Structure 1
Amino acid sequence: MTAIDLGRPVQGDVIDLILDDHRRFEALLRDLRDASSDRDAVRAAFAALHVAHAEAEEKYVYPKLRRKGAVGEHEAEHGEEEHAEGHEALLAVLELKGTDTQAFDDAVEELATAVNHHLTEEELTILNPAREEVGERVRADLGQEFAAERNRQIDDDCGSLTNVRRIVAGARREGLLDDEDDED
């Protein structure tokens, strides 16, 4: 569990709930970059939110949007790949002992790059089509499912180092992560 409030929505339009989390990610990343903040607490909160949010999207949101024709298979799979890349960058941050080192700052920068790229892309290629293609009732039902799964994950300490290691290992096995960075 985390001392930082991550919100506990129980209902709402799934798009609004996802966007609320996206703004939380941005605030937490700012705090992770701030040497005067409690970086240990912030990284624990970020880890919990990142895993809970991704798991809830992959379990409920992406499959429903695909079934409704709002997004294609490619967009959903790409979203899952970007979640895996975010988890991998998160793992690097979690595995560092100290938070006052250049290695920590560098790892946070990698995490911020991966997460900010995903937030932008998801808002443009998944959330915008969902707004236009999926009715309010479906978005509200999906919001309830997303919120319940997100909260359950957080309650189950989903952001623990052990769990993030397990998720990254699984993503590697599933081929969601390349062994080498594509950009290099």
Structure 2
Amino acid sequence: MATDVVELILADHRRFEELFRTLRDRNSDRSTALSELAALLVAHAEAEESKVYPALKRYKEVDNAEVDHGAEEHAEGHQALLALMEVSDTQSDEWESKLEELVQALNHHVDEEERTILNDARQEVPEERRAELGQLFVEIRQSRLDDDCGDIDYVRKIAAATEDRID
């Protein structure tokens, strides 16, 4: 298993893409896929914001404005996730519309994060430090997953707490 924080974050991004493909398939178990996405997305964002982003901001070659913007985009993602989770009929047009809003928000964030923050981190942060951050990322992400962070009540709580971050 990879320990480099950049590789771990990228692996989660690819899993998000797989889950989006499942969620777009009307014949799939959309509720189960949404539960997995919600948990992974929240745990991923909280692990990045609690340990990874603050550590990366200490490197002058890593763009602090992009790191702050990444946290804003997490807040937008939480809002879009909650909007989708609150639609009960997974076959409805409303559900499809909310799914596309979430996909667009998350794909935008992933693209920006990969092109800016993660590329900077790969080039500027020593391998040993990326491994240390990877271990912290995995520990926090797993702790959040163990605490059922994808539960709709928790998503409501974090969406409300992060509303002020959205431009």
1:18 to 1, 4, 9: 9
State yes or no: 1:171 paired with 2:162.
yes
TM-score, with structure 1 as normaliser? 0.88
Give the 3-state SS of the residue equivalent to 2:165 in structure 1.
Answer: coil
Pair 1:124-2:136 in alignment:
no
1:56 maps to which of 44, 47, 50: 47
Instruction: Report the identity percentage.
Output: 53
Unaligned regions of 5+ residues in structure 2, if any? none
Matches within 5 A, 1:12-91: 12-91=3-82
- Kindly state the Cα deviation for residue 67 of structure 1 after the two structures are TM-superposed: 1.1
User: How large is the RMSD of aligned CA atoms in angstroms?
Assistant: 1.0
Alignment length (residue pairs)? 167
- The one-letter code of the counterpart of 1:14 is V
- Which residue number corresponds to residue 152 of structure 1? 143
Structure 1 CA distance, aligned partners of 2:57 and 2:112?
17
Aligned residue number for residue 106 of structure 2: 115
Q: What SS class does the counterpart of residue 144 from structure 1 fall into? A: helix
Superimposed CA distance per residue, residues 91-116 of structure 1 (whole angstroms, 9 cap, x where no aligned partner): 01111111010000000000000000
**Is the partner of 1:58 in helix, strand or coil?**
helix
Could you say what secondary structure the match of 1:67 adopts?
coil
Larger helix percent: 2
For 1:176, the aligned partner's letter is R
Whether the 8 Å contact between 1:70 and 1:134 is mirrored in structure 2 is no
| Structure 1: segments with no counterpart, 5+ residues | 1-8, 179-184
What is the one-letter code of the residue matched to 1:135?
P
SS in 2 for 1:68: coil
Aligned CA distance change for structure 1 residues 146 and 67 (closer, same or farther; 3 Å): same
SS in 1 for 2:57: helix
CA distance in 2, matches of 1:150, 1:101: 32
Aligned residue for 1:92? 83
Scaled by the length of structure 2, the TM-score of the pair is 0.97
Check the 8 A contact 2:63/2:117 in 1, yes or no. Answer: no
Matched-pair contact (CA < 8 Å) for 1:13–1:143: yes
Q: How many angstroms does 1:154 deviate by?
A: 0.6
Q: CA deviation at 1:71?
A: 2.0
Residue 141 of structure 1 is aligned with which of 132, 141, 144? 132
